[in-house]
Amino acid sequence: MKQEPDTQSNGESPTLGSKDNNRRKKQREGKSGRLLLSRRAFLGVSAAATAALTAGYALKRPDVNFLSPSGNIYEEFTEEWISTSCLNCPTRCATRVKVQNGNAVRIAGNTLSKVSDGKTCPRCKIGLQVLYDHNRIQTPMKRNNPEKGKGVDPKWTPVPWGDALVEVSSKLKSLRDSGQPHKLLILDGLNSSSNDDLIKRFSLAFGTPNLITGDALDDEAAKAGEWMADGHYTLSAYDLEKTNYILSFGASIIESQKPLARNLRMWGKIRRERAIRAKVVVIDPRYSVTAAKADKWIPIKPGTDAALAMSIANVIISEGLYDSEFISNWTNGFEEYKNLALSQYSPESVAVITGIDADVIRQIAREFAESKPAIAWRGRGATCWPNGSYASYAIFCLNALVGSIDIPGGVIYQEYPEYKEMPAIVKDTIAETGNSKDAIDLRGKGKFKAAKVVTNQVADSIIENTLYPIEMAIGFNSNFNMLAPGTERWNEAMAKVPFYVHISPSFTEVSEYADIVLPACTLLEDWAYEHCPPGSGFTEVKIKQPVVNKLHESRTLGDIIFNIAGEIGGSVAQSFENIGDSAEGFVKYRTENLISWNDFRTNGVLVGPDYEFYKYDSIFETPSKKFEFYSGNLEALLKSSSSSTIQRIACLPHYTEPEFEGDEGGYPLNLVTYQPALNIESGSQNYPWAQEIYLVMHGYGWNNFVEINKETADELKIKDMDQVWIESPLGKIKAKARVFQGIHPEVVAIARGQGHYYDGEWSNEMGVNPNDITGVHYDELSGQSAFFNTRVRVYKA
């Protein structure tokens, strides 16, 4: 029989069986023998329970009654929608911004805008992060470290606005007083239309021809090609709404091609909102987002688009599929063009050049000609080459071949608002002398005969003191130290400039070389007017007005220019009188003939009259007043600048094998770069919303890769995500390899927009900048920088 535990003695130390415990236990037992809680125990338990419950409530818990993120209940609540516009890319979409209690919380499209049916592209919403960027310049800063270089700390100290402006203007004034206004370099990045107008006015009033925009990094060759054909030195606009066939030569239509928001909206429309579904064929060495969404992707050997275009012309002409009515009535030089195409660009011979089957060439040519209206769209992939102008010309001529000029669904001609004319610029003799000097980018001279601007040449010109040395520079929202090929030269050049004034909302790579930085307002605090780049045909004017109070001590760019001009005084100040006296005043002044100020501020957008087609008798600005397959404009230009005889072929669209940076033996692969949709073109990329989803096709953010074809990677023994070196004759960069099926075997691709080092916490030290190793070449006619003709070798790190 088992003994009761409490009477057991076991020789061990007392435990439950001790006599004392017995007594306590007997006390606890009530009459029924059950255990009862003593009063002390009851109180103890209650206290513990209360403490536990209190502790439970004291611990942090989510309280859904409070609706603000911080948990505050707002006593007052104001909400309003303000119309303004975007500037994260040159499209400048009209937007409306929701402002709650003085904070901008949401950006949506302005439904009154017709360019994109009130829609925007994804970059638009990043504007909120641009406005509240931690990397913004908060006050004017002065440099304290005389040494300038990449990675050299400028040692910024804040200075008051007054002092900064006085210093800048006195330096400018002394430059004028010494009779050297032309030694001022103005770097004009992505700015509002009104600010561009003000900058241009300033450069003319001041007396410097050295106004450098970034156009020659993007569009100049494309523009030159059209100019050769119809006299318009412009990007083409296309009536997308009614087109039935798009043949894209390297144009990333729904990824980066401006006007992006319009392209995105029209894509949806032409695919599934009409009776006829438009067909899209993309010719590109890389499987871009546009190629993924298109109906056919044709990989091509880079730089051979002109040959392909001429071969398509060959097929269209030889099979009699061209629009003979348009050709005979409205074109000039068709015979020569025809002979050239038929004799030298048979599909079989071009198949060898481009790597595309002759059958495929025939097939697209027929489709293109028979799916009217069709457009041939030349993009950067085809035009940013040493032979880019002629490639642009060849592709543009395809449109004329099938009659797609100024018709619904074809190429159209962008109209621009007729703002109120400003009074004439007051130019004194200093300005006149300065303006008469040649610009250091050698535009229109020697090498770059037809060029309006040769952006990338500026770096070399500064380094070599070409024509004359530059004494001072002002940068308005520019960042060529990241965006131009051969970035090392820009670093060297900007370090050499004796006095550089940087004006932009946030710190970027070029600001590292500044002597003074002035904080400009962001797109959501600025006063401006905007009009779209070519795309819609009809014109549209948009306002930019502050949606919130200016953050920090920023000032609008317009006000800064007015301030500086006023400080300089003399004819410069006079040129800025009577045009509004401030950024806001300037916008009002220039638009008051178009729309009432109240309406403009409320609606935010003014849509111009409908586009008129078929303007053949007035639209061609060529010697023959017709579309020219043999470019009279170019012939005149070449004749005027050289005395030797011009070869006929120099004025016809044709293919020449481009020169490459690097030889094929040492550098077997071709580097192409591209711009994803979320690349913000302001020069900064410090925006987490854009960074975290940067590469949609690869499913990664915060980085970029060197994308290599699988077979090529296998040969080089490179696996996915290996660290590799990409080396060109200019240098080498280290990046992760991405083994990708969507790229030509002889090509590697790197997305632009990463590789920052003087930006913000969300972009510094992430990815690489392929422009570091891109060679410096130009399409000499237009000054366009070549981006895709650099050869590289890739090997494991």
Q: Which residues in the 676-705 window bind another protein by CB under 8 A?
A: 677-678, 688-690, 692-693, 695-703
Q: Which stretch binds another protein (CB under 8 A): 8-16, 23-31, 199-207, 568-576?
A: 8-16
Q: What's the rounded Cα separation, in Å, for the pair 512 and 499? A: 12
Question: Smallest gap, in angstroms, from Cβ of residue 60 to another protein?
Answer: 6
| Contact status: 105 vs another protein (CB under 8 A) | yes
| Contact status: 111 vs another protein (CB under 8 A) | no
Question: Smallest gap, in angstroms, from Cβ of residue 32 to another protein?
Answer: 17
Residue whose CB is less far from another protein, 290 or 314: 290
Length of the chain as a residue count: 797
Question: Smallest gap, in angstroms, from Cβ of residue 745 to another protein?
Answer: 7
Q: What's the rounded Cα separation, in Å, for the pair 202 and 225? A: 30
Question: Smallest gap, in angstroms, from Cβ of residue 136 to another protein?
Answer: 12
Question: Rounded to 5, what percent of the chain is helix, strand, coil?
Answer: 35, 20, 45
- Whether 637 and 227 have beta carbons less than 8 Å apart is answered as no
The closest alpha carbon to 564, from 197, 248, 202, 48, belongs to 202
Residue whose CB is less far from another protein, 199 or 794: 794
When binding is defined by CB under 8 A, the residue of 88, 91, 116, 257 that contacts another protein is 116
Q: What's the rounded Cα separation, in Å, for the pair 534 and 263? A: 12
Question: Smallest gap, in angstroms, from Cβ of residue 713 to another protein?
Answer: 11
Residue whose CB is less far from another protein, 117 or 438: 117
Find the distance separating the first CA and the last CA of the chain, reported in whole Å. 81
Residue whose CB is less far from another protein, 273 or 464: 273
Helix (H) or strand (E) holding 737: strand 731-740
Residue whose CB is less far from another protein, 501 or 697: 697
| Contact status: 201 vs another protein (CB under 8 A) | no
Tokens of 762: 């969300």
Which amino acid is residue 15, in one-letter code? T
| Contact status: 15 vs another protein (CB under 8 A) | yes
Question: Smallest gap, in angstroms, from Cβ of residue 133 to another protein?
Answer: 11
Residue whose CB is less far from another protein, 291 or 473: 291
Task: Work out the angle at residue 521's Cα, subtended by the Cα atoms of residues 555 and 261, and round it to the nearest 5 degrees.
Answer: 150
Residue whose CB is less far from another protein, 235 or 300: 300
**DSSP assignment, residue 38?**
-
Residue whose CB is less far from another protein, 575 or 685: 685
Phi-psi region of 285 (alpha: psi -120 to 50; beta: other; left: phi over 0): alpha
Residues 58-87 binding another protein (CB under 8 A) are 59-71, 73-74, 77
Question: Smallest gap, in angstroms, from Cβ of residue 699 to another protein?
Answer: 2
Q: Which stretch binds another protein (CB under 8 A): 35-43, 167-175, 259-267, 450-458?
A: 259-267
Give 281-307 as a DSSP string: EEE-SB--HHHHHSSEEE---TT-HHH
| Contact status: 34 vs another protein (CB under 8 A) | no
- How crowded is residue 719: how many other Cβ atoms within 10 Å of its Cβ? 12
Q: Which pairing describes strands 94-100 and 605-607: parallel, antiparallel, or unpaired?
A: unpaired
Residues 566-595 binding another protein (CB under 8 A) are none
Question: Smallest gap, in angstroms, from Cβ of residue 588 to another protein?
Answer: 29
Q: Is 566 helix (H, G, I), strand (E, B) or coil?
A: helix
Tokens of 73: 């209940």
Q: What's the rounded Cα separation, in Å, for the pair 503 and 352? A: 50
Question: Smallest gap, in angstroms, from Cβ of residue 535 to another protein?
Answer: 14
Residue whose CB is less far from another protein, 599 or 714: 714
When binding is defined by CB under 8 A, the residue of 30, 268, 423, 446 that contacts another protein is 268
| Contact status: 175 vs another protein (CB under 8 A) | no
| Contact status: 299 vs another protein (CB under 8 A) | yes
Residues 626-685 binding another protein (CB under 8 A) are 677-678
Q: Which stretch binds another protein (CB under 8 A): 154-162, 257-265, 455-463, 752-760?
A: 257-265
Q: Is 785 helix (H, G, I), strand (E, B) or coil?
A: strand
Residues 40-59 binding another protein (CB under 8 A) are 56, 59
Give the number of residues in contact with another protein, rule: CB under 8 A. 90
Q: What's the rounded Cα separation, in Å, for the pair 93 and 542? A: 8
Tokens of 523: 């797109």
Q: Is 50 helix (H, G, I), strand (E, B) or coil?
A: helix
Residues 729-788 binding another protein (CB under 8 A) are 741-745, 762, 766
Residue whose CB is less far from another protein, 668 or 701: 701
- Whether 528 and 192 have beta carbons less than 8 Å apart is answered as yes
Helix (H) or strand (E) holding 500: strand 499-504
Q: What's the rounded Cα separation, in Å, for the pair 330 and 400? A: 9
Residues 124-163 binding another protein (CB under 8 A) are 124-126, 128-129, 131-132
Residues 710-729 binding another protein (CB under 8 A) are 710-711
Residue whose CB is less far from another protein, 150 or 293: 293
- How crowded is residue 66: how many other Cβ atoms within 10 Å of its Cβ? 12
Residue whose CB is less far from another protein, 439 or 743: 743
